[in-house]
Amino acid sequence: MSTRLTTRRERANAIRALSMDAVQKANSGHPGAPMGMADIAEVLWGDYLSHNPGNPQWLNRDRFVLSNGHGSMLIYSLLHLSGYDLPIEELQNFRQLHSRTPGHPEYGYTPGVETTTGPLGQGLANGVGMAIAEKTLAAQFNKPEHTIVDHFTYVFAGDGCLMEGISHEVCSLAGTLALGKLIVFYDDNGISIDGDIEGWFTDDTTKRFEAYGWQVLSADGHNPQQIIAAIDAARSDLSRPTLIRCKTVIGFGSPAKAGTSDVHGSPLGAAEVAATREALGWSHEAFDIPAPIKMDWDARERGFQAESRWKEAVVRYEEAYPELAMEFVRRMKGELPGHFEQRANDFIAASQAKADNIASRKASQNTIAAFSEFLPELLGGSADLAGSNLTMWKGSVPLSDRADGNYIYYGVREFGMSAIMNGIALHGGFIPYGGTFLIFMEYARNAVRMSALMKQQVINVYTHDSIGQGEDGPTHQPIEQLASLRTTPNMSVWRPADAVETAVAWKHALQRHDGPTSLVFSRQNLPHQSRTEDQVAAISRGAYVLEACSGQPDIIVIATGSEVGIARDAVKTLQDQGTKARLVSMPSTDVFEAQDAAYREQVLPSAVRKRVAVEAAAADYWYKYVGLDGAIIGMTRFGESAPGGVLMKEFGFTADNIVARAKALLA
């Protein structure tokens, strides 16, 4: 550590001043957490964090996650002070339209922000995912004499993060996986929005985390020497993750509001800002940081040197392991192998030729097995349902068995799984996929939304997609979930009709780098659909004509998934009876809607107003395709407990009913 011109408290007070000034100027925000955690942040960022403000995406940087994201001015102050491209004008523009300092840290807005945080506990979960990615990547690429993956994941978390149930899910798994380079700082200030948490949060946090298999340390969050000792102890034990309980005072320095909920989510007020300046001995104007403090905080040269040393290590690695080095760079860039397109297309063609009548969940497993042979970046998993959602294949190696594996047993932790996958994707080097029943997407809903918000390549494998689930009954039969996923911005959703559409869906998900994909599969076997080469090629456009008629159709039937086979039988019956009927298979509505207008018109001619949509899910979604005068065979209530085939007939998903509804519409 180089000699510095200012004291630790002065450098920490720079964070406090910037935080309270920005919140005050915006008249909105949360000054308490930044002011309370400033001393911890000063030690971590000043003495330990390995990062390069000149290159925020340096591959081997330490990851820093502010899970208590409401305290966003803490990270914005740190980024500005340490030399990232975040000028003071951006801090003065805190929480304003199009600023790089939004109300909560947003991935992609601000250089140096590793993940979007705000929904409490999810940043902590993302940190677990990042630590998993670091440990697994290191095991796959490091050699005894060459280390190119070697960094820590540091997380700041508050009481709210630990109250949220997701913290139990992910911290339990982190202990099981022995993520020794994950260090979490718990801002133990005893205050949440409603006040003193002793009325509703009396957990013995130390025993709780020790039971998870964590090392638990304590420190006065305003005593730099205790913080240093705790970090040193955490970094010296790489056999288990560490929680450092930092006892702090929320809003530290505010004479009238420190230690109260008044400073949690509201500006201090002009008078209290002035009083806090006096109490801290901070005589500088708003947003004014003295030159000596700026110099002490500036981490650009130190970061440049750290990255340069790493690059030298990579050069030596390249000389010793040229092929591995090329593979490492490819994976960290998120690029698919050059032969991916051809091999994927070959598998799709083989699936069409094979003509399997299998459940799409089984077709998905076959596709995973085929693609994993040449995509080592696939990191799979399941929320305790691998035998049902078929996310494992013969080459799956659990991380609980080997650190360099490719599969995670998430246990019954749907929410945790989805948020951890977000962290893995954010870290880089892997394409995570994880499976559960479609209905249990509801447990994970907010994390699924966050992957879409951050545009991360996460693949959700959802099986048991409808009332065809059968005897398990309405608690396990999804109705509204497909519509919910489809209306989520940036989310691509596929519900394939057979093994061929399943393979195309997986190919799309693997080639899509700007957002998550939800692949929705059946429990029951589905009939193979005969197709021409042109029809196979058209699947990738989201919708295509599967059963054509001569000339312009009188009626168009649109179907997805398990209903496509039934709808095809109905369309053939209509054609045999003299009706010019067309069947459109629409495995992905969002992909279809992204096609050019000419193709959409070709598939769904606007002149054909008679349309029937068939899907064993929420009916109302389909009005956008059939119009208010069209017919929809869908679900308008919850299901029942009975064999799947019985339920499909009970709720009208039969060829006879489709024919009857089509004729009624034409009449």
| Alpha-carbon distances of 652 from 547, 645, 648, rounded to whole Å | 21, 11, 6
* Cβ-based neighbours of 397, under 8 Å, separated by 6 or more: 404, 405, 406, 407
Q: Is the dihedral of CA 86, 89, 95, 98 positive or negative?
A: negative
User: How far apart are alpha carbons 438 and 416 in whole angstroms?
Assistant: 16
Tokens 């097995």 map to which residue? 369
How far apart are alpha carbons 591 and 583 in whole angstroms? Answer: 18
Alpha helices, H only, 522-581: 533-538, 563-576
Closest C-alpha among 584, 559, 572, 566 to residue 527: 566
Could you say which of 42, 90, 414, 615 is catalytic?
Answer: 414
**Which helix (H) or strand (E) is 247 found in, with range?**
strand 242-247
Contact 43, 228 (CB under 8 A): yes
- What are the two backbone dihedrals, phi and then psi, of residue 381, each rounded to the nearest 5 degrees? 175, 175
**Cα-Cα-Cα-Cα dihedral of 381, 385, 387, 391, to 10°?**
-30
Pair of tokens at residue 156? 């700041």
Query: What is the pairing mode between strands 581-585 and 407-409?
Result: unpaired
Which of 643, 587, 617, 638 is CA-nearest to residue 469?
643
End-to-end CA distance of the chain, in Å?
84
Q: Is 414 designated active site?
A: yes
Q: How far is CA 623 from the centre of its chain?
A: 30
What number of residues does the chain have? Answer: 667
CA 632 centroid distance within chain: 33
Q: Are 608 and 621 in contact, with CB atoms under 8 Å apart? A: no
Q: Any idea which residues carry the catalytic annotation?
A: 414
